[in-house]
Amino acid sequence: MNASQPKPQIPKTAISPTRAENYAEWYQQIVRASDMAELSGVRGCMIIKPNGYGIWELMQRDLDRRFKETGHENCYFPLFIPLSYFQKEAEHVEGFAKEMAIVTHHRLSMKDGVLTPDGELEEPLIVRPTSETVIGAAMAKWIKSYRDLPLLVNQWANVVRWEMRPRLLLRTTEFLWQEGHTAHETYEDAMLETRKMLDVYTRFAEDVMALPVIAGEKTAGERFPGAVNTYCIEAMMQDGRALQAGTSHYLGQNFSKSLGIQFQNRDGALECAYTTSWGLSTRMLGALVMTHSDDNGLRVPPRLAPWQVVIVPVLRGDSDRNSVIAYCESLKAEMQAQHYAGESVRVKLDLRDISGADKKWDWIKKGAPLLLEIGARDVDGGKVCVTRRDQLEQGKRFAARSEFVGGIVGELTAIQQNLFDQALAFMKARTVTDIKTRAAFDAYFSKSADNSFVGGQGFVRAKWSGDASSLEALDALGVTIRCIPFDQDGKEDVCVLTGKPATQEVIFARAY
């Protein structure tokens, strides 16, 4: 920085309250201010707004490419599932039994001037909370022989799980997701698929969302209802809580037995297929907010930014208007000709009829990675005035136009990496590995009634005996085992809950 550069004029905080003041309220304010989502007039249901939906579209595009590259085809299955399908899958239902929307009538009639449900259905229909049963029923029809396997399908859809305490993006009655469903000839093939798709999620989370995750297996008590094994990736939010970011389930023959997904195997015998399912939802938008936002608003990783660069023209009067706009237009075209992550750089020229300062703050809150303010002096000097969203505290810098454009791909790459590095450093700093006793464990999680941004709890990585009954004592603390990470040290030590010998490492945390 040299003396001629303008001083940073960013107010210390744009979002009120700050993370430190009130984390939960800060989150609500960020989601609102960044135009991501809002609660609707429909209880528990959200509206995903343009910035939120724009990010979701980019998430979809990237994931969809990965699914297709791994041989999956998209289909679409019914929203409604007959009640009888659930009756078949007892264990599965148990897990969802308290949170389903049920359609009982198919007509609305006017009675005494009041619209009234009419035409009662013989069999109630469930609005899908997940589609194992309805897709399994289709698979049972489609699969005849081992030649029909593997069957690899995915669907992008809305699902409904009734929520008494909705939380924007993180926990709403309706949300959007993808659900993959596959059927295989052998245990090995199905397990390979289950783990392969968890790897797809891991690469997506870390490389695209800039979200460091811990990959591992769920304990028996945390498994998906009906699954043999559930694998997951877990991320840490800025209050130290865990968020389950994606799951991949090996379902064994549980669903194929109850739904009749059978095939003639290579020996001519009839056998039940080995199935899997895996899903990732708009909950990840909430994870994005909680991981990357600061006290000024959202910060979007460049790979997911609907607009990677926003140009704000700074007009002092009508006299310079044409030349400034022309400069911005040609600058935009030059940047769009650059390719980042295989696609043209996404540039927005903001010509709204509001003040430059309002525009700038709007884009800071929305999290655009790079912000260019262009006035008459920049035009004369062939310069650009740059603000990097991930280095807001450093204020603006001036750069020669050609130099900036030539370096833009490198700069977007650096921002993406910086957001990942910051999140990883945070997770590491808030993960403790030296708690060895029950007393220390209780003391750690009892420091406050809830988690917080400043100095609160995080992940406890410790040994656990595997004794399920030892987990009951965690209820009062609101703590659960998030996963058994794949990377284990294999050493024997004492179980942090029981004091018994244990070799297995697990992650304990409070969670969303």
List interacting residues with a second copy (CB under 8 A).
40-42, 45-50, 53-54, 56-57, 73-83, 85-87, 93, 96-110, 114-115, 117, 119, 124-127, 134, 137-138, 147, 153, 157-158, 160, 162, 173-174, 176, 353-354
Q: CB 62 → a second copy: shortest distance, Å? A: 15
Task: Indicate the residue among 128 and 463 with the shorter CB distance to a second copy.
Answer: 128
Q: How far is the CB of 45 from a second copy (least distance, A)?
A: 4
Q: How far apart are CA 184 and CA 151, in angstroms?
A: 7
| Closest CB to a second copy among residues 88, 438 | 88
Q: How far apart are CA 109 and CA 100, in angstroms?
A: 25
d(CA 175, CA 281): 7
3-state secondary structure of 444: helix
Alpha carbon distance 300, 289 (integer Å): 8
Give DSSP secondary structure letters for 272-309. Answer: EPEEEEEEEETHHHHHHHHHH-BTTB----GGG-S-SE
**Least distance in Å: CB of 188 to a second copy?**
19
**Rounded to an integer, what distance in angstroms lies between the CA atom of residue 285 and that of residue 204?**
13
Residue 119, token pair as written in the block:
């035409």
Q: What is the closest distance, in whole angstroms, from the C-beta atom of residue 166 to a second copy in the complex?
A: 12
CB of residue 135 vs a second copy: minimum separation in angstroms?
A: 9
CA distance 389 to 260: 54
Sign of CA dihedral 210, 340, 388, 61: negative
Minimum CB–partner distance for residue 408 and a second copy (Å): 22
H or E element in which residue 130 lies: none
Q: Shortest distance, CB of residue 71 to a second copy, whole angstroms? A: 12
CB of 137 to a second copy, least distance (A): 5
Q: How far is the CB of 360 from a second copy (least distance, A)?
A: 18
> Cβ closer to a second copy: 73 or 492?
73
Nearer to a second copy, 266 or 428 (CB): 266
Contacts of 378 (CB under 8 A, 6+ apart): 327, 384, 385, 398
Report d(CA 11, CA 77) in Å as an integer. 50
Residue nearer to a second copy on the CB measure, 71 or 499: 71
Q: 494 φ, ψ to 5°? A: -95, 145
Nearer to a second copy, 57 or 492 (CB): 57
The set of long-range contacts for 36-43, using a CB threshold of 8 Å and a minimum separation of 24, is: 36/169, 36/285, 36/289, 36/298, 37/168, 37/169, 37/285, 38/168, 39/166, 39/168, 43/166, 43/173
Q: Which is nearer to a second copy, 96 or 453 (CB)?
A: 96
CB nearer a second copy, residue 174 or residue 206: 174
Angle formed by the axes of helices 283-292 and 23-33, nearest 10°? 110
Q: Measured from the CB of residue 478, what is the shortest distance to a second copy in angstroms?
A: 24
Minimum distance, C-beta of residue 68 to a second copy, in the bound complex (Å): 10
Q: Give me the count of residues in the chain.
A: 512
DSSP 171: B
Closer residue to a second copy in complex, CB, 21/38: 38
